Amino acid sequence: MKVLVINCGSSSLKYQLFNMENEEVMVKGLVERIGIEGSKLIQEKGDDEYIIEEAMKDHTEAVAHVFDALVDKDNGVIADLSEIDAVGHRFVHGGEKITKSALIDKEVRDAIEEYTKFAPLHNPANLMGLEACEKLLPNVKNVAVFDTAFHQTMPAKTYLYGIDYKYYEEEAIRKYGFHGTSHNFITNKAAEVLGKDVNDLNIISAHLGNGSSICAVKNGKSFDTSMGLTPLEGLVMGTRSGDIDPAAVTYIMKKENLSPEEMENVLNKKSGVLGVSGVLGVSGVSSDFRDLENAANEGNERAKAALDMFATRVKRYIAGYMAEVGACDAIVFTGGIGENSISMREDIMEGFELFGIKIDKEKNNVRGGCHVVSTDDSKVKVMVIATNEELMIARDTKSLVEA
Ligand code: ADP
């Protein structure tokens, strides 16, 4: 079985074609600047790159070019589109209606529409990718895999906000959590590596990338997570503020006369380590942790402050979540930063020695893959596991289509 995985953003589209006999990625690619001048498709097959630079005015045209690239005589990997057995789509928000991956039907579509109110940029873009596939591959089944689904096992005590209950009842304002596909993948992989039944597994999964979230996994299920109603809550991120006193938000809005949309833009795009690493009149160093680490090593105090703040917030969540899950089997780092930043993992774990949890500096000298990086006598294992959300989507797609 061959499964195409599609992840649509508002002006971008990422894809991977899987051969599910061996879960191998046959080809992957990215379309950028959809609907903007300079549209470009870049497809990677091993070390070879195939580039299409042509106007793509919407997602349907982008998907059409993806299909052309997949069957291209010289650069493609399949002879005909009929070889694609199913398409798995990443969706961001399924709210309370969606608790697991699902074949597309009316109920799923209604949930996507309903929860667009909390993911106004993402859900419509995800939907465009789906509609393009339905149009161009009418006989192929589509599956939706939601970032929020894994977290639907959270109990009310962790998902409710401390506000009037009517906001939950009337508007469904609550914590939903994101990166669920990644936290789910990490949970299953950790169980496999540790040789434990996933239903008995307690871990803290730290997905640290441009967007970052932590998940407390209890008995293999999401029990608490740091992102909230939207992906803005929780850790300090590349450009997102994470947790902040709501009164600071209303103060800034009043002081600078900002509309709700303008304030959302400040909190989503101009905050986080980018915002924190700036000084008055000079913009921040970067939202990219490699740039920040380089700048900090060259003595930039603001970059150092941003990295310290990030590490402190992650530490705070991990410690709190360990108390929530009880006997913890492992703390797992994943995502671009979690997998690759050796120094950030060290900084985050500093202080946990008091609780008998110790990182082994030599073992920690790794990037990606799947490793235990704690000392042999550490009370809780610290691990690095490379996440693979696309594979998780492909697996769910295969099992739903086969069923
Ligand atoms: P996204 O959330 O967009 O999927 P990623 O998970 O790819 O993002 O993470 C991107 C982040 O990972 C960037 O801040 C990048 O600097 C960081 N990163 C990647 N490689 C390294 C590295 N070797 N050292 C430190 N940070 C890294």
Distance from Cα 387 to the centre of ligand 1, integer Å? 12
Alpha helices in 172-259 (DSSP H): 180-194, 246-256
Mutational test site, ligand 1, from 237, 337, 390, max ligand atoms within 8 Å of CB: 337
Ligand 1 binding pocket includes 347 (Cβ within 6 Å): no
Q: Whose CA is nearest to atom 21 of ligand 1?
A: 340
- Residue 180, helix vs strand vs coil: helix
- Closest ligand 1 atom to Cα of 344: 25
- Give the three-class secondary structure for 4: strand
Gap between the Cα atoms of 23 and 290, Å rounded: 31
Pocket test for ligand 1, best of 239, 297, 307, 341 (most atoms within 8 A of CB): 341
Interval between CA 340 and ligand 1 midpoint (Å):
7
- The Cα 335–Cα 315 span in angstroms is 16
Q: Which atom of ligand 1 is nearest to the CA of 291?
A: 16
Single-letter amino acid, residue 99: T
* Residue 320 CA from chain centroid, whole number: 21
Cα torsion 167, 172, 313, 121: sign: negative
Tell whether the torsion through CA atoms of 293, 299, 302 and 308 is positive or negative: positive
Residue 340 in contact with ligand 1 by CB distance below 6 A: yes
pLDDT for the residue numbered 357: 98
Task: Report the separation in Å between the CA atom of 237 and the middle of ligand 1, taken as the mean of its atom positions.
Answer: 11
The helix (H) or strand (E) run that includes residue 214 is strand 212-218
Unique residue bearing structure tokens 């209303």? 250
CA atoms within 13 A on the CB side of 302: 16
Of all protein residues, whose CA lies closest to atom 27 belonging to ligand 1? 337
Residues β-bridged to residue 282? 279
Whether the CB of 116 sits within 6 Å of ligand 1: no
CA–centroid distance, residue 286 to ligand 1 (Å): 12
290 C-alpha to ligand 1 centroid (Å): 7
Give the span between the Cα atoms of 20 and 148, in whole angstroms.
25
Q: Which residues pair with 48 in a beta bridge?
A: 45
For ligand 1, atom 3: residue with the closest CA:
210
Terminal Cα-to-Cα distance of the chain (whole angstroms) = 13
What's the CA-to-centroid distance between 311 and ligand 1, angstroms? 15
180 neighbors 150 (Cβ within 8 angstroms): yes
Q: Comparing C-alpha atoms, which of 220, 131, 226, 128 is closest to residue 176?
A: 226
Is residue 336 within 6 Å of ligand 1 at its C-beta? yes
Q: Which of 110, 147, 308, 396 is catalytic?
A: 147
Q: pTM of the full predicted structure?
A: 0.95
Which residues does 179 contact at the CB level (< 8 Å), separation at least 6?
147, 207, 211, 213, 215, 225, 227
pLDDT in tens, the chain (403 residues): 999 999 998 889 999 999 999 999 999 999 999 999 999 999 999 999 999 999 999 999 999 999 999 999 999 999 999 999 999 999 999 999 999 999 999 999 999 999 999 998 899 999 999 999 999 999 999 999 999 999 999 999 999 999 999 999 999 999 999 999 999 999 999 999 999 999 999 999 999 999 999 999 999 999 999 999 999 999 999 999 999 999 999 999 999 999 999 999 999 999 999 999 998 778 899 999 999 999 999 999 999 999 999 999 999 999 999 999 999 999 999 999 999 999 999 999 999 999 999 999 999 999 999 999 999 999 999 999 999 999 999 999 999 999 9
β strands within 24-163, DSSP E: 24-32, 40-45, 48-52, 86-91, 102-103, 141-146
> Residue 91 belongs to what H/E stretch?
strand 86-91
> 335: Cβ below 6 Å to ligand 1?
yes
Our answer to whether residue 147 is catalytic in this structure is yes
Q: Is the dihedral of CA 84, 90, 94, 100 positive or negative?
A: positive
Over the range 202-236, which residues count as b (16 or more CB within 10 Å of their CB) and which as e?
bbbbbbbbebbbbbbbbebbbbbbbbbbbbbbbbb
Q: Is 297 close to ligand 1, i.e. is its CB under 6 Å away? A: no
